[in-house]
Amino acid sequence: MSELSAQTWGGSAEGIRHHYDVSHAFYSLWLDESMTYSCALWEADAPDLPLSLAQQQKLDFFIRAAGAVGAACTLDIGCGWGSLLGRMTGVYGVRRAVGLTLSEAQASYLRSLGLTGVEVRTESWTAHTPTAAYDAIVSIGAFEHFAQPDQSSPEKIRVYRAFFERCHRWLSAPGRLSLQTIAYGTLRPEEANRFIQSEIFPDSELPRLEEIVAASDGLFELALLRNDRLDYARTCEAWLSRLRSRREEAVTLVGEPVVERYERYLKLSAVGFRMGKIGLLRLVLRPIRSHWSRPS
């Protein structure tokens, strides 16, 4: 490990808990029934899918992209409330699916579901030691938490590279890493909204595409890249609409100030994605194994 802070390296547990431990009941009011808290996927041939099916479509996309169908063992880094793990084992025949989260609330909820073949661990990817190689790795909506707002671009790249090195080492052939993350678009880091950085996602810093590319250089080849920022605008709008329709219950659960904070965050995010200030990257990364082209 480096001189970077051991407490926050690769994702601040406090920052994660600040956001995700608000209340399971609160999130269940406005997320879809699978409790998937990340951007849904709408394809051009089915633009009118309801949120829950668009979330399912997103999970399916990442499962197939990573090569997880029928796999013996897979890893989900930042598993949230477990919708991906449940779909891997319940629908796609994965025999053992390991999920990592820093949120105790998410981990205990997931354990309470008692899903066969699902193993949840409350630990960072930096502390994780696999007991066997993974046939596929998926990470959706966790990468945003790996770096810190005060880090320079080279420092961020160093953290991201450590992540890619681990994934590369943990993957067995022909497994892939499928990854979804919000990233800076036209917004410059110094213009980032302080409200979101301090009130909603403390200790989090978005990557830039070029940082991801630099950090994975020589370890992974980019098999697919999409920027589906309008999907995230639409997801935030759907969440906002659902929160508004259950507003009274939400206020009873967490109080007016928290509900207002989330409404503002969802509105700002929706507009930020529409404007292209921030983007939503979906990447499929294939480990470089060939000795024909030795990584430098």
Partner 1 sequence: MMDISVSQSAIAEWMQAYIGDFLNVDAQQVDVQTDFERFGLDSAIVVSLVSELEEWLELELSPSLLFEYPTIDAMSQHLYGRKLPVSSAQPVQP
Binding site for partner 1 (CB under 8 A): 193, 233, 236-237, 240-241, 244, 264, 266-268, 270-272, 274-275, 277
Name the minimum Å distance from CB 231 to partner 1.
13
Cβ-based nearer residue to partner 1, 182 or 270: 270
Question: For residue 106, what are the contacts with CB-CB under 8 A and spacing of at least 6?
Answer: 20, 21, 79, 80, 81, 82
Cβ-based nearer residue to partner 1, 71 or 233: 233
Name the minimum Å distance from CB 84 to partner 1.
27
Q: How far apart are CA 16 and CA 96, in angstroms?
A: 25
Residue 147, SS3?
strand
Residue 208: closest CA among 164, 147, 120: 147
- For residue 117 the two structure tokens come to 């073949």
Cβ-based nearer residue to partner 1, 32 or 237: 237
Question: Which one-letter amino acid corresponds to residue 99?
Answer: G
Cβ-based nearer residue to partner 1, 3 or 190: 190
Name the minimum Å distance from CB 12 to partner 1.
25
**121 CB-contact burial (10 Å; exposed 0-12 / middle 13-18 / buried 19+):** middle
Name the minimum Å distance from CB 265 to partner 1.
10
Cβ-based nearer residue to partner 1, 64 or 261: 261
Question: Which one-letter amino acid corresponds to residue 68?
Answer: A
Name the minimum Å distance from CB 243 to partner 1.
11
Q: How far apart are CA 19 and CA 17, in angstroms?
A: 5
Peptide bond into 174 cis (omega under 30): yes
Residue 39, SS3?
coil
Name the minimum Å distance from CB 268 to partner 1.
6
Cβ-based nearer residue to partner 1, 54 or 88: 54
Q: How far apart are CA 121 and CA 119, in angstroms?
A: 7
Q: How far apart are CA 296 and CA 287, in angstroms?
A: 14
Dihedral angle at the C-alpha atoms of 142, 145, 151, 156, nearest 10 degrees?
-10
Cβ-based nearer residue to partner 1, 244 or 289: 244
Cβ-based nearer residue to partner 1, 179 or 270: 270
Name the minimum Å distance from CB 282 to partner 1.
21
Name the minimum Å distance from CB 198 to partner 1.
14
Q: How far apart are CA 243 and CA 249, in angstroms?
A: 9
